[in-house]
Amino acid sequence: MKHTKIIATLGPVSGSRGMIRELALAGADVFRLNFSHGDPEWRTEVIQSIRQASEELDRPIAILADLQGPRIRTEVTFPIDVKRGFSLRVCELSERIRFSTDDPVVALDTPGILGRVAVGHRILVEDGLIGLTVTKIATGYVEAQAENDGTIKNRKGVILPDTLLDLPILSKKDKEDLAFILREGLEYVGLSFVGSVADIESVRREMDVVAGPAAKKPLICSKIERKAALRALREIIRASDCAMVARGDLGIEMPESEIAILQKQIIAESLREVRPVIVATQMMQSMVANPRPTRAEVSDVSNAVIDHADAVMLSEETAAGKYPVETVATMREIIEKTEESPFDDIYQALDLNLKTEYAVMVRSVYELSQSFRVKAILILSMSGFTARLLSHFRPDARLLVATNSVETWRQLALVWGVEPYLFAGDKNLDTLIERFMHDLKSRGILMPDDQVAVFYGRTPEQSTMKLVGIRTIH
């Protein structure tokens, strides 16, 4: 079995009940819903299909709801053809009326956006296909010079990589979508364009307002895709529940030559802070149209596994590609082959943020499992924290986790190496561990004479942790 999890984005070609089941059987552990597309009716139907597939397959499937985030878009009255060195004006939408409709003027739809722009700052249009450099600041607009040839079209995305923006992390649309996510009880919410810890705290406050402080809420996955996020990387990851290496927009804000190193840096920081981490964007992009990946894509997936990412993500490949099931199956094969190799065992030494008594206890479980070469580590984890902490060490033994929380059961589907099992309603740890071992034997996962390490996490009813030690299956 694979340890690194697969996230598949659902879309026009993959949102049907039958296709969702096929993708899960092929190896998808988590389904991503991109809230930049689709409507609530479609999403509700898809969520129901995912829940049904999970029930039929008797395994957890998590849902990652990816919010659109603050977007800046162009407003032009006609497509503007530019050549390198061509000068044009960029203004805010409210100022567009000052100029003739025949003037080559690019308006931006976000109020106040140009107030922080300075001479020398870049304005990148349509995923960086067209670059503009600001040459002059004027009242109500800026003048900019094109860095390359191209055509500026209407409603295309704009990025200001050199400008310190002060946009709210949640737009009106995002707040409506977040309320939907809370009603549906989804497991993860992805935050686009995170720039500071304050952005994450703002979202947590919004969830408290909508659902109430005591309500169960999705875990926050911060997408690292802005230069500002890199400046506060450790703090942002620590404030988040999960991180994503969002290489698309990150590759626009930062030089392409640095992306591979930044990926390793983000993964290392996530491991240090014991946060699951996802590698995303164009991992198998050629399979949108072709039945086989390129050799470079195979190496990309394999290297993410060797870097010890918790999950690798597919976007357009499964949302709109010709071969969604084949793409997931191919990715699964690459993961399994890589994890079988000795290179997957290379683990970089990190200054781990594991200072508490609890973390030390969990480390001892890992060391015990390695010393005795046990078949599996059996964990009772109600919140999922103990399972995530043990997963962080990337042990050789299987991580078999029992929980009585449906939310935890689903959330752990994204975490490296964790195989979650649900025992709803059972709150007695001693009873639960016996039921768990019996269930694993009946499934053929554990056999007589297998050795396992057993560890109880904390629960509200039984607040003390407990290391049972090594047990032999009879």
Strands 376-380 and 451-456: parallel
Residue reference for tokens 């993860």? 188
Per-residue pLDDT reduced to its tens digit, 36-80: 999 999 999 999 999 999 999 999 999 999 999 998 999 999 999
What's residue 350's pLDDT? 54
For residue 166, the model assigns a pLDDT of 84
Q: Rounded to whole angstroms, how far apart are CA atoms 164 and 116?
A: 7
**Nearest one of 49, 8, 2 to 324, comparing CA atoms:** 8
User: What is the pLDDT at residue 410?
Assistant: 98
Q: What is the DSSP letter of 444?
A: T
Query: Which DSSP helix (H) or strand (E) runs through 45?
Result: helix 40-57
Q: How far apart are CA 349 and CA 72, in angstroms?
A: 40
Distance, CA of 86 to CA of 88 (rounded, Å):
7
Quote the longest CA-to-CA distance of the chain: 84
**What are 112's two structure tokens?**
């106040």
Domain boundaries, the chain: 5-69+168-341, 74-159, 357-472
Topology agreement, domain 74-159 and domain 357-472: no
User: What DSSP line would sit under 314-358, residue for residue?
Assistant: ESHHHHT-S-HHHHHHHHHHHHHHHHHSGGGG----------SHH
> Two tokens at 356?
């508490």
Q: HSE (CB half, 13 Å, CA atoms) of 135?
A: 12
Catalytic residue IDs? 32, 73, 223, 281
5-69+168-341 is classed in which CATH architecture? Alpha-Beta Barrel (3.20)
Q: What is the pTM of this model?
A: 0.94
Task: Assign a CATH topology to domain 74-159.
Answer: M1 Pyruvate Kinase; Domain 3 (2.40.33)
Residue 71: closest CA among 34, 118, 119, 120 = 34
Residues of the chain with pLDDT under 50: 460
- Which CATH architecture group holds 357-472? 3-Layer(aba) Sandwich (3.40)
**pLDDT for residue 458:** 61
pLDDT tens figures, 88-144 = 999 999 999 999 888 899 999 998 889 999 999 999 999 889 999 999 999 989 999
| Residue 8: both structure tokens together | 């598949």
| pLDDT score, position 362 | 85
